[in-house]
């Protein structure tokens, strides 16, 4: 009962703090991860003593499993398959040599520099090759981020986990061939590969397809409330994970596959999931950060020495050294190449991958987590500081748009429309009437980022207002408070 109350209190604290600080953190460019790690430390045994979550804690296992599952499912749902074909060459380099070569290099360094056995080194290399979408979020939302760099970083951070996860699982099986499954029976390598590469994806696709088919059938006949469609998306993620795990497949791969099917078949559900489902996934991520911040992640501070610091330099620098030359010949600008190569924070995705052998009870796996934690903490300072510098320096170079013409008092009334009674929907003819009467009219493009940046069609003269902070963006563009703003999202 005490543990249950503690978890409820933790959930309440994270939701309240995340909500109250969301606007301030977005504008200040302070890494949200740092805030919630600090919150975990405050609640942990070194300070208030309200929270102490160790490797054997069932709460940590539940939070980490849900977080990784929802991260992969969100990656699949928000993938936007239309972006992949025109950027297939870039994607192949990012997810092929751009992901595998750094993983191999880090693994070799872990083996020869830190003395880990080859399978353990491969796990650490794969985990530390994963780039973190949470730390990148503020940069990807910035108007200063070039479009090509934004899409490349979003695709890489969203897809490289699904490349690295099989490496972790296979290395675990090589490290411990008698690895015990959830059902209590020893697994063999061929059976585990079958579950990872076949059963997981197949069941994910089946659950996703069946779920969307059922939703479409019910929509046509009785209708479905939009807010419940968000819950429905999460339900499909849980169902896909459970179906695959129940037959010995990979629930994580199944959740990703279900997300891809949803993205391909039902864009309306994808939009709806963005409104609620991503917020839910982010809450689990923040909960996991708080749990790790209570004590576990700080163990990384205890392994600082010459060898581990050199390893951290290799782990954080090898991706840039490999990726920068790989991006040549793709038509990217020099600035885009530098941004893509340098903005590669390691964060929760790394820790979640390296926790898998810990949860499996593999000998020595806890030391892998400790070393990974050290690298993540350094990355938080280096990459988090670099992202903050980029956002602030870019913001200083963004000059406000020229002020719009002054508002003519009573112009809307002259057009036959009261400025206080502008309808929720406005026709093009009504817009023309407002303009003809001298009213200040601004057309705002509010489509979600992946649609806006992948679609070459833009309304003439439309302003792109940041959907995450439209008020601040409108002030930056000097849009008059009295202006009529016509928003479109299709």
Q: Assess if residue 406 is contained within a domain.
A: no
Q: Are residues 104 and 185 in the same domain?
A: yes
Q: Which domain holds residue 84?
A: 2-397
Q: Which residues lie across from 443 on neighbouring strands? A: 486
> Cα-flanking dihedrals φ and ψ of residue 443, to 5°?
-95, 125
Based on the fold, state whether residues 163 and 188 are members of the same structural domain. yes
Lookup result for tokens 């070039």 = 146
pLDDT given for residue 456 in this prediction: 61
Q: How remote is the C-alpha of 118 from its chain's centroid?
A: 30
Domain CATH code at residue 305: 1.20.1530.20
Residue 7: per-residue pLDDT: 66
Q: At residue 274, does pLDDT exceed 90?
A: no
Dig out the tokens for 290 from the structure: 């708080």
Rounded mean pLDDT, 196-207:
82
- Among 342, 367, 397, residue at a domain's last position: 397
DSSP 3-state of 464: strand
Q: Who wins on pLDDT, 293 or 432?
A: 293
Judged against a pLDDT cut of 50, whether residue 281 lies above it is answered with: yes
Whether residue 474 has pLDDT greater than 50: yes
Structure tokens that stand for 242 in this block: 């459970």
3-state secondary structure 61-128: HHHHHHHHHHHHHHHHHCCCHHHCHHHHHHHHHHHCHHHHHHHHHHHHHHHHHHCCCHHHHHHHHHHH
Distance CA 350, CA 64 (A): 11
In whole numbers, what is the pLDDT of the chain averaged over residues?
77
Three-state DSSP class for residue 186 = strand
In a domain, 164, yes or no: yes
Domain check: are 262 and 390 in the same one? yes
> 332 lies in a domain?
yes
Total residues belonging to the chain: 490
> Model confidence over 289-333: pLDDT tens digits?
888 888 889 999 988 888 999 999 999 999 999 999 999 888 888
Which of 105-114, 175-184, 214-223 is modeled with the greatest confidence? Answer: 105-114
Residue that wins the pLDDT comparison between 112 and 215: 112
Final residue belonging to a domain, choices 346, 363, 397: 397
423 token code pair:
């309808």
pLDDT tens, residue by residue, 3-48: 566 667 777 777 787 777 766 766 665 677 788 888 888 888 888 8
Mean pLDDT within 237-249: 85
More confident residue, 231 or 391: 231
Per-residue b or e along 238-263, where b marks 16 or more CB atoms closer than 10 Å to that residue's CB: bbbbebbbeebbbbbbbbbbbbbbbb
Beta bridge partners of 186: 180
Q: Are 210 and 84 within one domain? A: yes
What count of other Cβ atoms lies within 10 Å of the Cβ of residue 346?
Answer: 27
| Contact between 412 and 390 (Cβ < 8 Å) | no
Last residue of a domain, one of 397, 422, 454: 397
256 and 177 fall within a common domain: yes
Contacts for 207 with CB less than 8 Å, ≥ 6 apart: 236, 239, 240, 243, 254, 258
| Domain annotation covers residue 404 | no
DSSP conformation letters of 397-448? H-PPPPPPPPPPTTHHHHTT--TTS--SS--HHHHHHHHHTT--EEEEE---
Q: What is the pLDDT of residue 421?
A: 47
**How many structural domains compose the chain?**
2
* Residue 376 falls inside a structural domain: yes
- Structural tokens at position 154: 């979003």
SS3 sequence of 191-247: HHHHHHHHHHHHHHHHHHHHHHHHHHHHHHHCCCCHHHHHHHHHHHHHHHHHHHHHC
Largest CA distance in the chain: 81
User: Three-class SS of residue 14?
Assistant: helix
Inform me whether the pLDDT recorded for 408 exceeds 50: no
Let me know whether 102 and 188 are in one domain: yes
Interval 184-211 mean pLDDT: 71
What tens digit of pLDDT does each residue of 134-172 get? 777 777 777 777 778 888 888 888 788 888 988 998 898
- Residue 373's pLDDT is what? 94
Is residue 293 assigned to a domain?
A: yes
Whether 392 and 290 share a structural domain? yes
CATH number at residue 435: 3.40.250
Read off the pTM.
0.73
Residue 350 has pLDDT above 70, yes or no: yes
Residues 426, 315 within the same domain? no
Q: What is the reported pLDDT for 186?
A: 46
Q: Is the Cβ–Cβ distance between 344 and 131 less than 8 Å? A: yes
Task: Give the sheet arrangement for strand 441-445, strand by strand.
Answer: 463-464, 441-445, 484-488
Give the whole-angstrom CA distance, residue 383 versus residue 344: 7
Question: Do both 301 and 442 map to the same domain?
Answer: no
Assess if residue 372 is contained within a domain. Answer: yes
Tell me if 33 sits within 8 A of 59, measured CB to CB: no
Q: Are 293 and 45 in contact (CB under 8 A)?
A: no
The two three-digit tokens of residue 163, written as one number:
């490349």
**Do 183 and 256 fall into the same domain?**
yes
Do 386 and 420 fall into the same domain? no
Neighbours of 12 (CB within 10 A): 10
- Is 70 a member of any domain? yes
Each residue's pLDDT tens digit, 361-395: 888 889 999 999 999 999 988 887 777 676 666 65
Considering the domain architecture, whether residues 420 and 279 belong to the same structural domain is answered as no
pLDDT in tens, 81-99: 666 777 788 888 998 999 9
CA dihedral 198, 203, 206, 211 (to 10 degrees): -150
Going by pLDDT thresholds of 50, 70 and 90, the confidence category of residue 277 is low
């Amino acid at each position: 009962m005490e543990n249950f109350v503690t978890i409820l209190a933790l959930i309440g604290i994270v939701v309240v703090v995340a909500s109250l600080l969301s606007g301030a953190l977005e504008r200040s460019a302070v890494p949200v991860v740092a805030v919630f790690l600090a919150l975990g430390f405050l609640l942990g045994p070194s300070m208030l003593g309200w929270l102490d979550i160790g490797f054997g804690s069932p709460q940590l296992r539940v939070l980490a499993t849900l977080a990784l599952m929802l991260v992969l499912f969100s990656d699949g749902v928000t993938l936007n398959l239309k972006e992949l074909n025109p950027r297939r060459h870039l994607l192949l380099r990012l997810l092929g040599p751009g992901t595998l070569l750094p993983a191999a290099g880090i693994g070799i360094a872990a083996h020869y520099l830190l003395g880990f056995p080859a399978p353990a080194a491969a796990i650490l290399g794969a985990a530390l090759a994963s780039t973190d979408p949470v730390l990148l979020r503020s940069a990807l939302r910035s108007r200063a981020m070039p479009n090509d760099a934004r899409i490349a970083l979003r695709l890489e951070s969203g897809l490289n986990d699904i490349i690295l996860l099989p490496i972790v699982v296979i290395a675990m099986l090589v490290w411990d061939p008698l690895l015990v499954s959830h059902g209590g029976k020893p697994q063999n390598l061929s059976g585990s590969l079958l579950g990872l590469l076949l059963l997981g994806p197949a069941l994910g696709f089946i659950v996703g397809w069946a779920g969307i088919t059922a939703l479409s059938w019910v929509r046509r006949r009785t209708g479905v409330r939009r807010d419940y469609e968000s819950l429905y998306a999460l339900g499909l993620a849980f169902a896909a994970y459970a179906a695959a795990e129940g037959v010995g497949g990979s629930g994580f791969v199944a959740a990703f596959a279900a997300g891809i099917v949803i993205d391909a078949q039902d864009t309306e559900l994808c939009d709806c999931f963005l409104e609620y489902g991503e917020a839910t996934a982010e809450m689990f991520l923040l909960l996991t950060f708080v749990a790790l911040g209570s004590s576990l992640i700080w163990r990384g501070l205890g392994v600082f020495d010459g060898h581990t610091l050199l390893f951290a330099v290799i782990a954080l620098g090898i991706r840039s050294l490999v990726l920068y030359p790989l991006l040549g010949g793709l038509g990217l600008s020099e600035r885009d190449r530098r941004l893509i190569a340098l903005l590669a924070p390691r964060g929760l995705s790394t820790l979640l991958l390296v926790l898998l052998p810990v949860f499996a009870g593999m000998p020595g796996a806890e030391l892998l987590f400790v070393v990974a934690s050290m690298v993540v903490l350094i990355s938080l300072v280096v990459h988090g500081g670099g992202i903050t510098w980029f956002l602030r320096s870019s913001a200083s170079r963004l000059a406000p748009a020229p002020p719009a013409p002054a508002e003519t008092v009573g112009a809307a009334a002259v057009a036959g429309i009261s400025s206080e009674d502008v309808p929720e929907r406005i026709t093009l003819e009504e817009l023309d009437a407002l303009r003809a009467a001298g009213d200040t009219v601004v057309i705002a493009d509010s489509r979600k980022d992946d649609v806006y940046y992948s679609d070459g069609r833009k309304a003439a003269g439309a302003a792109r207002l940041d959907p995450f902070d439209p008020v601040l963006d409108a002030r930056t563009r000097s849009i008059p408070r009295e202006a009529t703003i016509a928003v479109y999202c299709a």
